[in-house]
Structure 1
Amino acid sequence: MKIKLVLILTFVTSLCFGQRWTEQQANDWYKKVQWPVGANYAPAYAINQLEMWQAETFDLKAIDKEFALAESIGMNTMRVFLHDLLYQQNATAFLQRIDEFLAVADKHHIKILFVFFDSVWNPYPELGKQRDPMPHVHNSGWVQSPGRKALEDPTQYPRLEAYVKAVTKRFANDIRILGWDVWNEPDNMTGTSYERVESPRKVDLVIALLPKVFEWVRSQKPIQPLTCGVWVLEFNGNKELKPIEKIQLDNSDIISFHNYSDETNFEQEVAFLKKYNRPILCTEYMARGNNSTFQGVLPVAKKHAVGAYNWGFVSGKSQTIYPWDSWEKKYVSEPPLWFHDIFRTDGTPYHQYEVDFIKNITSTKTTGK
């Protein structure tokens, strides 16, 4: 009788609060998914998440046009960043814009992997008109979510919780969403761009908050999987995980990672992550100057049924055609080799052979597993 009661309570708890998917559940889900290939998407008109989504600048016609390009080369998914300040600004309107955005994505047969939080670039986000891009500088206006002030202030955590729960609840059963990426590069200290103004407690604060974010999302019982990508897998055969990487991997329904190296290194990381016996997505890759290319990575990803999201799509205000070193090295014109992005602002490809390759490799319909 006691055993039955424990089983019943366990079942009820999982229904009420949600639990991490089992390996079987995750793999069964992935078998039904077409091999995910897409990009990290911000429209060309937007310097950051705020300019993409705020009412004054939100442009569905531009998004529709760019998603048509994605569909034309066989892409079927996009990774898209949200922001907590947008929910604080006007929750109802923000949720409505997400719904309208998903309708455009669905029109082009593109499923969305939404990102709730992001630890990269400017730690001082502000609503309203966003600044103009710094000339020839990579991602000069991208902003963190939550910003430093919110991260250091526990009294703001209920606001962050409300944002995550409301978005998840609204779209918990929405098949237009592929999954939820709860926090992008959570322990990234932003290097030479903003490290001097970062919170010295940032990593410790994120380590404490990240498990709660997983709980917030799961409390709404979404039908979509959760993930949080490990982004610096430096190892020589035996990889000892950092505390935050353990949190990421132990809480993710599906495994995700970032890799901006060549295909050999990419395949090594895939081999390491396969031991978790869960579907794998590479949620950031493709940096031409680092020998991370479509021609090198995508065949390996397809061979191992790994989903792949390159960074950048249409060149625009994010200026990610410039390399990361543009924060230190002065550029005065378009670089001879684009770092990221696939299309020019007018919709023509940077390299026709690249889009031909993407279209060809995605033309064979394969399931995720």
Structure 2
Amino acid sequence: MKPMKFFLTGGALALILASQALPAAYAETVQWTPAQAHAWYGKQRWLVGSNYLNTSAINQFEMWQADTFNPEEIDRELGWAQGLGMNTMRVYLHDQLWAQDPEGFKKRIDTFLTIAQKHKIKPVLVLFDSCWDPNPVLGKQHPPIPGTHNSGWVQSPGNAGLMDEAGWPKYEAYVKGLVGAFAKDDRILAWDVWNEPDNRGGGNYKQLDEQVKIAQVAKLLPQVFAWARTQDPRQPLTSGLWHNDNWDVKDRLNAVERVQVEQSDIITFHNYEWPESLENRIKSLQVYGRPMILTEYMARGNGSTFDSALPIARKYNVGVINWGFVLGKSQTNMPWDSWERPYTANPPTLWFHDIFHADGTPYRKAEVDQIKAMTAEAEKAFSQKK
């Protein structure tokens, strides 16, 4: 993408100077300092988890809508995560769920958090997402497209909502209402305010022009951060870098990436490539002096695996959250190219994502053994540190 220059206006400089003079009680209304971020991170165990969607849900709607919310299944599956020593999960929400039934949505999130706490898991909650279907519709969802990766996932907001700036106050109500409801809840690890915000979307859908998408998101993303901060959340805010080169050179970041770097309390990022790439990404992000969590990784056919990524992350004290936990309606065992050629006749022997079959059987025992061993070692080291 074409890099964009950034200029600090007098108003922005005044805002920064004013924020530095704020009393401690209002410290959470501005980006955390690196020292604050490290103080928070120092209290955490080595963070290990998965991006989580329960087996019977094809997308965010089916996970959270009242008629398909499945706490029994969630309880069982988070028990498997606890068995691996995982202590976090990254879980996606959706603005339309709030618009439909805010009180019911909050109640179901509270139920989920209670289940997660039972299994010693503190999730990262994701507010918005720019991936896959740009035309989300509540209600009954279509069945999975055979042999196709993540065929029901929906964007939040979709194309129409992103382009309708007059309608953005409803997103303000969503962010303030939801973050405000759980801002002091210690069961939540962090808020990921927008997943891959400048992603065009992917799949076979009609997506917005790349530059139009970047321009609209660059307007809305800073407001999402600001709305969340008005609620003084105890948890850090973040939005993860995921593509392009030169993350350590601000003048090479696009408009959306610059917001991500300048507003995130902790640095999060994605990497689905070979271990050399992962290590280089970690080193490049050290320039920001903040704790790091790798919030998406592990695509076996793409060179990103547990046996290569986990030791690197542990070496640099970077948290890790792989894509995919249990094989279900999302079908993320299928590779990305299944959108061009669905794997209907011959499913791939090598799973792209996911750890468990729907009955709890591991796809590869060696992987779960490694995760268990490394989380146990990390827990022992954390206990000794205390």
Q: Give me the whole-angstrom Cα distance separating, in 2, the residues matched to 1:367 and 1:9.
A: 33
Aligned residue runs from structure 1 range 219-230, under 5 A = 219-230=230-241
Please name the residue that 1:52 is paired with. Answer: 63
Please name the residue that 1:156 is paired with. Answer: 167
Deviations 1:59-98 (A, max 9, x none): 0000000000000011000000000000001010000100
**Is 1:349 aligned to 2:374, yes or no?**
no
Q: CA 1:18–1:245 in 2, change beyond 3 Å: closer, same or farther?
A: same
Aligned-partner residue type, residue 323 of structure 1: P
Please name the residue that 1:75 is paired with. Answer: 86
SS in 2 for 1:111: coil
Aligned residue runs from structure 1 range 178-193, under 5 A = 178-193=189-204
Deviations 1:231-279 (A, max 9, x none): 0142499682222111101100000000001111100000000111100
> TM-score, structure 1 length as denominator?
0.94
SS in 1 for 2:180: helix
Bigger CA drift: 325-334 or 223-232?
325-334
Q: Give me the whole-angstrom Cα distance separating, in 2, the residues matched to 1:208 and 1:136.
A: 37
**Is 1:198 aligned to 2:208, yes or no?**
yes
Aligned match for 2:154, one of 121, 132, 143: 143
Q: Is the 8 A contact 1:180 1:225 kept in 2?
A: yes
Q: Is the 8 A contact 1:30 1:367 kept in 2?
A: no
SS in 1 for 2:21: helix
Please name the residue that 1:3 is paired with. Answer: none
Aligned-partner residue type, residue 80 of structure 1: V
Q: How much does 1:284 deviate?
A: 0.2
CA-based RMSD of the aligned residues comes to: 2.1
Please name the residue that 2:258 is paired with. Answer: 246
SS in 2 for 1:363: helix
> TM-score, structure 2 length as denominator?
0.90
Runs of 4 or more consecutive aligned structure 1 residues displaced over 4 Å after TM superposition: 6-9, 235-239, 366-369
Q: Is the 8 A contact 2:247 2:284 kept in 1?
A: no
Q: Is the 8 A contact 1:148 1:199 kept in 2?
A: no
The share of aligned pairs that are identical, in percent, is: 51
Aligned length: 363
Q: Is the 8 A contact 1:122 1:141 kept in 2?
A: yes
Alignment gaps of 5+ in structure 1 = 1-5
Q: Give me the whole-angstrom Cα distance separating, in 2, the residues matched to 1:245 and 1:9.
A: 23
Q: CA 1:301–1:9 in 2, change beyond 3 Å: closer, same or farther?
A: closer
Q: Give me the whole-angstrom Cα distance separating, in 2, the residues matched to 1:176 and 1:233.
A: 33
Q: Give me the whole-angstrom Cα distance separating, in 2, the residues matched to 1:146 and 1:247.
A: 18
Q: How much does 1:16 deviate?
A: 8.6
Q: Is the 8 A contact 2:332 2:353 kept in 1?
A: yes
Q: Give me the whole-angstrom Cα distance separating, in 1, the residues matched to 2:94 and 2:351.
A: 28
Aligned match for 1:319, one of 310, 327, 331: 331
Q: CA 1:10–1:198 in 2, change beyond 3 Å: closer, same or farther?
A: same
Aligned match for 2:288, one of 262, 276, 279: 276
